[in-house]
Amino acid sequence: MAVVRASAKRRRESTSGTLQEAKRAKKATGNSRSVRRSETLTLSEYRKRLRDQGKYSSARPSSGCTACTARRSCVHDPPKLPPVDMRVSPQRQPLPKRGKDKTFLFQDHPEFRPNLSPAEVLQLGSFGGTYFRDIESAVVGQALKGRDVIKELPKNWFKGLDVPKQVCSPIHNRALNKYAVDCGVCLGQWETSGWISSLDPYGWFQWFCRFHLGRRSTDDCRQIGRFRRITGLRRGQLCNDILNARASWNDATVSPVLRQALQHWAYRITREDLEAHKKKKTKKKCNAEG
């Protein structure tokens, strides 16, 4: 009889553990119904959502998105549809560790090497304090509350931050950014460019927060590819600006907008980056002359 009770107890514990894991996975997934809706979304329906939400006329939550308010050149019309076949894996990965070069090492994606954690991105001062603001998402067709969205994230990520002002503010304040510059574009550009999937309607940084915590999805390769292309380009531009200015790698007066942009993509330039770029340019010059 004792054996039967013990066996039943183990089954209950196993079931409880499975349910808890399922709840965590669902929490990190986002709204599964929104995922299915995105996969059957038509161009005309998506365009109507964008227009009804004012995405073709409103800027990001600041006065800095000149392209959106004046030329509107950053918003695509007709829009590009969001990525489809968005699914979350039931298997979770361990938290990453930092390597000797201070980049994060993800066992299943060694090509992905950010050197800032999500918490560091937030704590350093990013997105003008508005990233997890309340939004109308054209991708999932729903209004989202930022304070609800961040409940899945570790509380210590926000320690010392004024969340309503520095994380969920509806008003962009460049003074809150580490480099005190305007940086970024409106949600309309992200949504009409097809950059945002239904898994992460807030965009790349939301995906990064969840990926860092162990969630894996069918969108990972696309998002990692975007990280590599954008940080590679911005890092090269910043290195050129530093070399042209004959400045130190950490001179914040050189190209603060590029530095802020890299920070939003979880990367901070290093001395080694500059030295590697310098060697690459020297080698390229020698090959051209030879």
**To which residue do tokens 């290195």 refer?**
239
CA distance 134 to 113: 30
Under a CB-based contact definition with an 8 Å cutoff, are residues 270 and 284 in contact? Answer: no
Q: Which residue did the predictor score with more confidence, 189 or 12?
A: 189
In this predicted structure, what is the pLDDT of residue 2? Answer: 45
Q: What is the mean pLDDT of residues 98-110?
A: 97
Give the end-to-end CA distance of the chain in Å, rounded to a whole number.
86
CA distance 266 to 275: 20
CA distance 208 to 214: 10
**To which residue do tokens 């089954």 refer?**
11
In this predicted structure, what is the pLDDT of residue 61? Answer: 54
3-state secondary structure of 98: strand
Name, of 4-18, 64-78, 179-193, 264-278, the range with top average pLDDT: 264-278
Would you tell me how many other CB atoms lie within 10 Å of the CB of residue 156?
8
Q: With b meaning 16 or more CB within 10 Å and e meaning fewer, what string describes 71-103?
A: ebebbbeebebbbeebebeeeebeebeeeeeeb
What is the separation of C-alpha 66 from the centre of its chain, rounded to a whole number of angstroms?
23
In this predicted structure, what is the pLDDT of residue 36? Answer: 43
List, for residues 223-258, the tens digit of each pLDDT value. Answer: 999 999 999 999 999 999 999 999 999 999 999 999
List, for residues 190-212, the tens digit of each pLDDT value. Answer: 999 999 999 999 999 999 999 99
Q: Looking at the DSSP assignment, which residues form a beta bridge with residue 256?
A: none
Q: Which of 21-25, 132-136, 158-162 has the lowest mean pLDDT?
A: 21-25
Q: What is the mean pLDDT of residues 152-175?
A: 97
3-state secondary structure of 254: coil
Return the H-helix or E-strand segment holding 86.
Answer: none
3-state secondary structure of 56: coil
What pTM did the predictor assign? Answer: 0.83
CA distance 70 to 241: 28
CA distance 132 to 167: 6
